[in-house]
Chains A and B, each alone.
Chain A
């Protein structure tokens, strides 16, 4: 049934038996009532909950966005996880471990939210496994040096938080609630990244160089995390009309740039954009063009590490399959045993 136009499906409309047309009529009526209530909820900026009627496209858009967000958390564990065993101090090792572990948790919260829309988690996993699903392109870049861990925390998590704070008010209840929990937990992620860079930029010459190099590499891709410019982002408008998205890609990007310029100054590091300067008239920082060709190339799968990231994910799923099956088999046996015992005593 098409949600936008609650009319009879052509086949149903021409069906000859009375029962079919009666069912179709009732379904159409339900859709009409549901549609009106949905529109009203959105107009009043209220929350839509899982069991409410919602247009198919709203549901599809959300499943896509929420699961992409979840996939990003999961793939995002890899570049940082890569440094857990090499972190240069025990304190940093603990912080990093806790952070990467949080990302697993955030992926899990988001998969849970997506599941309330009717798509089981295993199906969402499958979409990532087969390469059908997308995730944030930034994670296809390598974390080569320790300073990259700082840059990821400061810039990548910083951009993510800028994006996520408005999502706490997303019209879909479970998504908004997952974002609240995530934002609360992530407040330490950006700070720890900034602190790593601060320590490096106030350390030895080699450390400072390492920090600057990381910022040089992550600045552009971090700004691209907000998505393509507004005039090339076809889905944004609908998402904003549905109160899923609250601000446009470019608005969020501007907000982020305005935020990081003074932070970079406090770090004593330079942002690699010669066109970056304060614009008194606009009350914002102007920034230079980003390399969108590279962005779309990475999105299409040609980033430096797309293949590696997916292979890592697949290997973990493949190697864990026997464990998941064993636990399920054990649970079934236990349940069966309890059931048999109950029969005996009955």
Chain B
């Protein structure tokens, strides 16, 4: 029935005028040591999740979903590049220095984003939690006293709103689809639930920066994020898992077996050629 596709305005493409990591890099904005360490936390979560989601492309349940997950991964990678670029300004490092040449114990990612993709339901569970968390986070970070963080948050907030919607739509469909999909969606939530609480850990130096109006205190997000998560899970007809947070929720990586594998794969080529340009 596609008998009347036109070649004019529907395919008119443009770059748009949103900020890019390159803009940030050339803007001259420089983070201080503490702000940089905070930016690392934000950047690492996005980077690791983008890395995980990138693996879905060519493996999604349907072509349309390959594209949807690809868009989300690209958004997250964009957020990571903003935050790592900005963090790097404090130490004279590039985004790639930070992404490829830090070791396991130097990363600050939460274990939630490090979790394996699992089946589509587990990925959706992880997306649901992370997007609800980051939406709340960015909706407050837009008011940061640090102009750069505020600007990045403004861009990220709009994108994460869509990630939330994507995850919620799939939650409803999987929960209300077939018996099998309902079982898998419930199992998906349960498989990642122990790692929700780590998102709200006030890693150093967040508390101090929050006081100065620069950072958002993670623990201050807990109540609203959990309320919204509980609401949507119940609306979908599923049970909110009664699983306690896993021990070691401090973003240190000391209690993660997965971070090492993720970095081994992500960094392998860059580390084989230290100092090379790509």
Listed in ascending order, the chain A residues whose CB lies under 8 Å from chain B are 49-51, 74, 77-78, 81, 84-94, 97-98, 100-101, 104-105, 107-108, 111-113, 115-116, 146, 173-174, 177-178, 180-181, 184-185, 196, 199-200, 203-204, 206-207, 312, 315-316, 319-330, 333
A90 touches B99 (CB 8 A): yes
Contact B273 A88 (CB under 8 A): yes
Q: Cβ of B95 and Cβ of A90 under 8 Å apart?
A: yes
Nearest Cβ on chain B to A90's Cβ, whole angstroms:
5
In the complex, the answer to whether A112 meets B2 with C-beta atoms within 8 Å is: yes
Which residues of A have CB within 8 Å of B64?
A: 108
Q: From A91, A104, A180, A330, give the contact of B7 (CB < 8 A).
A: A180
Candidate in B55, B63, B119 with the most chain A CB atoms within 10 angstroms? B63
List B residues 64-121 near A (Cβ within 8 Å): 64-67, 70-71, 73-74, 77-78, 80-81, 84, 95-96, 99-100, 119-120
Known: A84-B55, A93-B54, A312-B59. 14 other contacts (CB 8 A): A50-B3, A77-B58, A78-B58, A81-B58, A90-B84, A104-B57, A174-B5, A184-B13, A199-B278, A207-B276, A320-B60, A322-B184, A323-B120, A329-B181
Residues on the B chain within 8 Å of A173, using CB: 3, 5
Contacts of B181 in A (CB 8 A): 322-323, 325-326, 329
Residues from chain A with a CB closer than 8 A to the CB of B196 are: none
State how many residues of chain B have any CB contact under 8 Å with chain A.
Answer: 58
Q: How far is the CA of A196 from the CA of B192 in the complex (A)?
A: 38
Would you give the shortest CB distance from A46 to chain B, in whole angstroms?
14
B126-134, B172-180, B203-211: which lies at the A interface? B172-180
For window 258-275 of B, CB contacts with A under 8 Å fall at 265-266, 268-270, 273
Bound Cα distance A65, B67 (Å): 24
Q: How far is the CA of A51 from the CA of B1 in the complex (A)?
A: 8
Name the A residues within 8 Å of B173 (CB-CB).
326-327, 330
Does B74 contact A101, Cβ atoms closer than 8 Å? Answer: yes
The answer for the CA separation of A185 and B11 in the assembled complex, in Å, is 9
A315 closest partner in B (C-beta):
B59
Contact present for B5 and A90 (CB under 8 Å): no
Q: What are 14 A-to-B residue pairs whose CB atoms are below 8 Å?
A: A89-B100, A97-B70, A98-B70, A180-B11, A185-B13, A199-B277, A320-B60, A321-B61, A322-B181, A322-B184, A323-B61, A323-B62, A329-B177, A330-B176
| Chain B residues with CB under 8 A of A104 | 57-58, 63, 66-67, 70
Chain B contacts for A203, CB-based, 8 A = 273, 276-278
Known A322-B178, A323-B174; contact A97-B60, beta-carbon cutoff 8 A: no
Evaluate contact between A51 and B2: CB separation under 8 angstroms.
no
* Contact A107 B63, CB 8 Å, known A88-B278, A322-B181: yes
